Amino acid sequence: MVTGGAGFIGSNFVRHLLAADPAVRVINYDALTYAGTLANLEGVDEQYASRYRFIQADICDADAVRGVMTDENVDTLVHLAAESHVDRSIAEPGAFLQTNVMGTYNLLEAAREVWKGRDDVRFHHVGTDEVYGSLEPEGYFTEETPYNPSSPYSASKAASDHLVSAWARTYGVPATLSLCSNNYGPYQFPEKLLPLMMCNALLETPLPVYGDGKNVRDWLHVEDHCRALDLIVRRGEPGRSYNIGGNNEWRNIDVVELLCDLLQKARPPKQVKHYRELITFVPDRPGHDRRYAIDAERIRSELGWTPAWQFEDGLAQTLRWYLDNQHWLDRISREKYDGRRLGLLG
């Protein structure tokens, strides 16, 4: 059972599981909130009809969670469902507490009840490196780095991580935890940096860069993330956490400029000479962390995972996917997202 399987990472993970293992059966449990859409799973029903089922339900509905886990004989739960956009969390923090904290609690309690006495089961919780807060110019996040969340989003994810760890220690729920860096790739909702910049550039409208653009992020291709999750679920040690990073640190402004250069070659603009002319610096986000960087040595040494994608190549592949799937972008923009910025105070 994959919660949030109609979202960006979730839909990629569902596709990965079904393609990689002909014996696996996947229950996709998703509420289809604004960032989840069945357009992310087009063709999956037809291709994997006997091994795939979609159920529209909310993780905040405890009865629905227990019912699905029981009726479908779920033995592995990968928890990806979450409110995940920092700007949105600043504007609407209550929704993040409800979904990310209480939703995770409901899943853990359902697992404890439905799996009582079983040792052939696994609960995996997908977290974020944002729970660690902001790094200095040097150093990396390890699994021992103290949590220091800066936003309502990261605080709610930190709380959910602690719930998973507590349920593993107190109740013996066989749980693992992963904390990933910034994902990118196909099917990413356009409120996030890369697809937002792609959408705006194609419309030749301003490309908003927060603050001075020098905030640093470690970029992880969603395909690499899916491989890592699969390994942890199958071979990770219960009670253990694993950092997943792409080893690709980039400043935001450099990311946007690289994207402009790639798009300039792929589809030259009509109203400006170069897409870089569209870059516009805007007021920074409140509490904006300066740098994230992941030390992924544990998952490399214990499970043999390393990222396959270098960022320049991954970004070029991602851009090509968005250009080749303009219908997907148009549909999401029309039905789900108007490009409006959230999270400014005052």
Catalytic residue annotation: 129-130, 153
Q: Tell me, letter by letter, the H, E, C secondary structure of the chain.
A: CEECCCCHHHHHHHHHHHHHCCCCCEEEEECCCCCCCHHHHCCHHHHCCCCEEEEECCCCCHHHHHHHHHHCCCCEEEECCCCCCHHHHHHCHHHHHHHHHHHHHHHHHHHHHHCCCCCCCEEEEEEEHHHHCCCCCCCCECCCCCCCCCCHHHHHHHHHHHHHHHHHHHHCCCEEEEEECEEECCCCCCCCHHHHHHHHHHHCCCEEEECCCCCEEEEEEHHHHHHHHHHHHHHCCCCCEEEECCCCEEEHHHHHHHHHHHHHHHCCCCCCCCHHHHEEEECCCCCCCCECCECCHHHHHHHCCCCCCCHHHHHHHHHHHHHHCHHHHHHHHHHCCCCCCCCCCC
